[in-house]
Amino acid sequence: MKKYIWPSVKLTIFMILVLAVLYPALIAAVSKAAPGQGKGKTISVNGKVVGYENVGQKFTDDKYFNGRPSAVDYNAASSAGSNKAASNPDYQKLVQERIDTFLIHNPGINREDIPAELVTASGSGLDPDISPAAAMIQIKRVAAARHLSENKVMALVSDHIRGPWLGMAGPAKVNVLKLNIALDTLK
Protein backbone atom coordinates (compact mmCIF):
# COMPACT_ATOMS: atom_id res chain seq x y z
CA MET A 1 0.00 0.00 0.00
CA LYS A 2 2.91 2.32 0.73
CA LYS A 3 3.60 3.21 -2.87
CA TYR A 4 0.05 4.46 -3.32
CA ILE A 5 0.04 6.81 -0.35
CA TRP A 6 2.10 9.61 -1.88
CA PRO A 7 0.14 9.83 -5.16
CA SER A 8 -3.01 9.66 -3.04
CA VAL A 9 -1.96 12.64 -0.96
CA LYS A 10 -1.14 14.71 -4.03
CA LEU A 11 -4.34 13.75 -5.78
CA THR A 12 -6.29 14.63 -2.63
CA ILE A 13 -4.78 18.11 -2.42
CA PHE A 14 -5.50 18.75 -6.08
CA MET A 15 -9.08 17.52 -5.79
CA ILE A 16 -9.74 19.65 -2.70
CA LEU A 17 -8.70 22.69 -4.71
CA VAL A 18 -10.95 21.81 -7.62
CA LEU A 19 -13.98 20.37 -5.83
CA ALA A 20 -14.10 22.32 -2.58
CA VAL A 21 -12.64 25.69 -3.60
CA LEU A 22 -13.04 26.35 -7.33
CA TYR A 23 -16.36 24.55 -7.77
CA PRO A 24 -18.29 26.33 -4.95
CA ALA A 25 -16.67 29.63 -5.92
CA LEU A 26 -17.86 29.16 -9.48
CA ILE A 27 -21.40 28.38 -8.38
CA ALA A 28 -21.40 31.35 -5.99
CA ALA A 29 -20.25 33.61 -8.83
CA VAL A 30 -22.86 32.35 -11.29
CA SER A 31 -25.60 32.63 -8.67
CA LYS A 32 -25.04 36.39 -8.50
CA ALA A 33 -27.16 36.49 -11.64
CA ALA A 34 -29.96 34.47 -10.02
CA PRO A 35 -32.98 35.98 -8.28
CA GLY A 36 -31.81 36.93 -4.77
CA GLN A 37 -28.15 36.89 -5.88
CA GLY A 38 -27.69 33.43 -4.42
CA LYS A 39 -28.61 34.60 -0.92
CA GLY A 40 -32.18 33.34 -1.03
CA LYS A 41 -35.18 35.20 -2.47
CA THR A 42 -36.43 37.82 -0.02
CA ILE A 43 -39.72 39.72 0.01
CA SER A 44 -39.91 43.36 1.11
CA VAL A 45 -42.81 45.51 2.24
CA ASN A 46 -42.20 49.27 2.08
CA GLY A 47 -38.49 48.65 1.53
CA LYS A 48 -38.12 46.45 4.58
CA VAL A 49 -37.37 42.74 4.26
CA VAL A 50 -40.16 40.79 5.96
CA GLY A 51 -39.17 37.30 4.97
CA TYR A 52 -37.89 34.76 2.50
CA GLU A 53 -40.22 33.63 -0.22
CA ASN A 54 -39.33 29.99 0.37
CA VAL A 55 -39.02 29.98 4.14
CA GLY A 56 -42.25 29.67 6.04
CA GLN A 57 -42.84 31.95 9.03
CA LYS A 58 -45.10 31.83 12.03
CA PHE A 59 -48.62 33.22 11.69
CA THR A 60 -50.79 32.76 14.76
CA ASP A 61 -52.91 35.91 14.51
CA ASP A 62 -56.53 35.30 13.49
CA LYS A 63 -56.35 38.10 10.95
CA TYR A 64 -53.64 36.29 9.01
CA PHE A 65 -53.86 33.01 7.16
CA ASN A 66 -52.05 30.51 9.36
CA GLY A 67 -49.48 28.09 8.03
CA ARG A 68 -48.93 24.53 9.13
CA PRO A 69 -47.87 23.41 12.60
CA SER A 70 -44.09 23.37 12.98
CA ALA A 71 -42.03 21.12 15.24
CA VAL A 72 -39.49 23.94 15.71
CA ASP A 73 -41.91 26.86 15.85
CA TYR A 74 -40.63 28.15 12.48
CA ASN A 75 -37.05 28.57 13.71
CA ALA A 76 -35.27 28.99 10.36
CA ALA A 77 -31.86 28.48 11.95
CA SER A 78 -32.69 24.97 13.13
CA SER A 79 -35.04 23.08 10.86
CA ALA A 80 -36.62 19.81 12.01
CA GLY A 81 -39.70 17.66 11.66
CA SER A 82 -41.53 16.16 14.61
CA ASN A 83 -40.49 12.60 13.70
CA LYS A 84 -43.60 11.38 15.47
CA ALA A 85 -45.07 8.05 14.44
CA ALA A 86 -48.78 7.72 13.84
CA SER A 87 -48.88 4.96 16.46
CA ASN A 88 -47.46 7.20 19.20
CA PRO A 89 -50.16 7.95 21.87
CA ASP A 90 -48.56 11.33 22.75
CA TYR A 91 -48.77 12.28 19.13
CA GLN A 92 -52.45 11.39 18.97
CA LYS A 93 -53.08 13.73 21.89
CA LEU A 94 -51.12 16.49 20.19
CA VAL A 95 -53.14 16.25 16.99
CA GLN A 96 -56.35 16.21 19.02
CA GLU A 97 -55.28 19.45 20.72
CA ARG A 98 -54.50 21.04 17.37
CA ILE A 99 -57.94 20.12 16.08
CA ASP A 100 -59.60 21.58 19.19
CA THR A 101 -57.57 24.78 18.93
CA PHE A 102 -58.46 25.14 15.29
CA LEU A 103 -62.16 24.75 16.03
CA ILE A 104 -62.01 27.43 18.72
CA HIS A 105 -60.37 29.91 16.36
CA ASN A 106 -62.65 29.02 13.47
CA PRO A 107 -66.21 28.88 14.76
CA GLY A 108 -68.72 27.47 12.34
CA ILE A 109 -66.28 25.01 10.79
CA ASN A 110 -67.04 21.30 11.07
CA ARG A 111 -64.36 19.09 12.57
CA GLU A 112 -64.49 16.69 9.64
CA ASP A 113 -63.76 19.46 7.14
CA ILE A 114 -60.37 20.37 8.57
CA PRO A 115 -57.60 19.60 6.04
CA ALA A 116 -55.04 17.16 7.49
CA GLU A 117 -52.08 19.41 6.77
CA LEU A 118 -53.35 22.07 9.21
CA VAL A 119 -53.06 19.67 12.15
CA THR A 120 -49.87 17.83 11.11
CA ALA A 121 -46.35 19.27 11.35
CA SER A 122 -44.36 19.75 8.15
CA GLY A 123 -41.12 17.91 7.38
CA SER A 124 -38.86 20.93 7.65
CA GLY A 125 -40.84 22.91 10.20
CA LEU A 126 -40.56 25.73 7.65
CA ASP A 127 -43.18 24.81 5.07
CA PRO A 128 -43.99 28.07 3.28
CA ASP A 129 -47.16 26.77 1.64
CA ILE A 130 -50.62 25.48 2.37
CA SER A 131 -53.01 23.79 -0.05
CA PRO A 132 -55.89 25.75 -1.61
CA ALA A 133 -58.34 23.85 0.63
CA ALA A 134 -56.41 24.87 3.75
CA ALA A 135 -56.59 28.51 2.66
CA MET A 136 -60.28 28.34 1.80
CA ILE A 137 -61.27 27.00 5.18
CA GLN A 138 -59.66 30.01 6.90
CA ILE A 139 -61.42 32.64 4.77
CA LYS A 140 -64.37 32.95 7.12
CA ARG A 141 -62.18 33.64 10.15
CA VAL A 142 -59.84 36.06 8.37
CA ALA A 143 -62.69 38.01 6.80
CA ALA A 144 -64.44 38.34 10.16
CA ALA A 145 -61.26 39.44 11.96
CA ARG A 146 -60.59 42.11 9.35
CA HIS A 147 -64.20 43.16 8.78
CA LEU A 148 -63.92 42.37 5.11
CA SER A 149 -66.42 40.60 2.89
CA GLU A 150 -65.74 36.91 2.43
CA ASN A 151 -66.02 37.29 -1.33
CA LYS A 152 -63.21 39.80 -1.41
CA VAL A 153 -60.90 37.54 0.61
CA MET A 154 -61.96 34.58 -1.49
CA ALA A 155 -60.95 36.43 -4.64
CA LEU A 156 -57.58 37.21 -3.15
CA VAL A 157 -56.97 33.57 -2.21
CA SER A 158 -57.95 32.45 -5.71
CA ASP A 159 -55.40 34.88 -7.14
CA HIS A 160 -52.69 33.33 -5.00
CA ILE A 161 -53.25 29.69 -5.90
CA ARG A 162 -50.30 28.32 -7.84
CA GLY A 163 -51.35 25.32 -9.92
CA PRO A 164 -49.35 22.15 -10.56
CA TRP A 165 -45.92 22.36 -12.20
CA LEU A 166 -46.29 22.84 -15.98
CA GLY A 167 -50.02 22.74 -15.35
CA MET A 168 -49.99 18.97 -14.94
CA ALA A 169 -47.58 17.60 -12.35
CA GLY A 170 -47.60 17.90 -8.59
CA PRO A 171 -49.86 19.62 -6.09
CA ALA A 172 -51.42 23.09 -6.14
CA LYS A 173 -50.34 25.42 -3.35
CA VAL A 174 -50.65 28.85 -1.79
CA ASN A 175 -47.65 30.74 -0.42
CA VAL A 176 -48.80 31.91 3.01
CA LEU A 177 -46.44 34.87 3.32
CA LYS A 178 -47.32 36.32 -0.08
CA LEU A 179 -51.01 35.85 0.59
CA ASN A 180 -50.78 37.63 3.94
CA ILE A 181 -48.81 40.53 2.51
CA ALA A 182 -51.48 40.99 -0.11
CA LEU A 183 -54.12 40.70 2.58
CA ASP A 184 -52.59 43.65 4.46
CA THR A 185 -53.08 45.87 1.41
CA LEU A 186 -56.73 44.88 1.02
CA LYS A 187 -59.16 47.63 1.99
Task: Please list every residue from 134 through 163 that binds other proteins, using CB under 8 A.
Answer: none
Which member of 70, 106, 119, 138 binds other proteins (CB under 8 A)? 119
By CB under 8 A, what part of segment 167-186 binds other proteins? Answer: 168-173, 177, 180-181, 184
* Closest alpha carbon to 153 in 141, 165, 166, 168: 141
Q: Does 1 bind other proteins (CB under 8 A)?
A: yes
List the one residue from 62, 105, 109, 124 that touches other proteins (CB under 8 A). Answer: 124
* Binding flag, residue 4, other proteins (CB under 8 A): yes
3-state secondary structure of 172: coil
Task: Report the C-alpha gap between 108 and 104 in whole angstroms.
Answer: 9
Near other proteins by CB under 8 A, which window of 4-12, 144-152, 153-161?
Answer: 4-12
Q: Provide, rounded to whole angstroms, the least separation between the CB of residue 154 and other proteins.
A: 20
Beta bridge partners of 161: 174
19 makes contact with other proteins (CB under 8 A): yes
Binding of other proteins by 9 (CB under 8 A): yes
Give 94: exposed, middle or buried? Use CB within 10 Å, 0-12, 13-18, 19+: middle
Q: Which of 70, 106, 122, 138 binds other proteins (CB under 8 A)?
A: 122
- What part of residues 26-85 is at the interface with other proteins (CB under 8 A)? 26-28, 30-32, 34-42, 45, 48-61, 64, 68, 74-85
Residues 6+ apart with CB under 8 A from 186: 146, 148, 152, 153, 156
Query: Would you say the C-alpha torsion 74, 77, 81, 83 has a positive or negative sign?
Result: negative
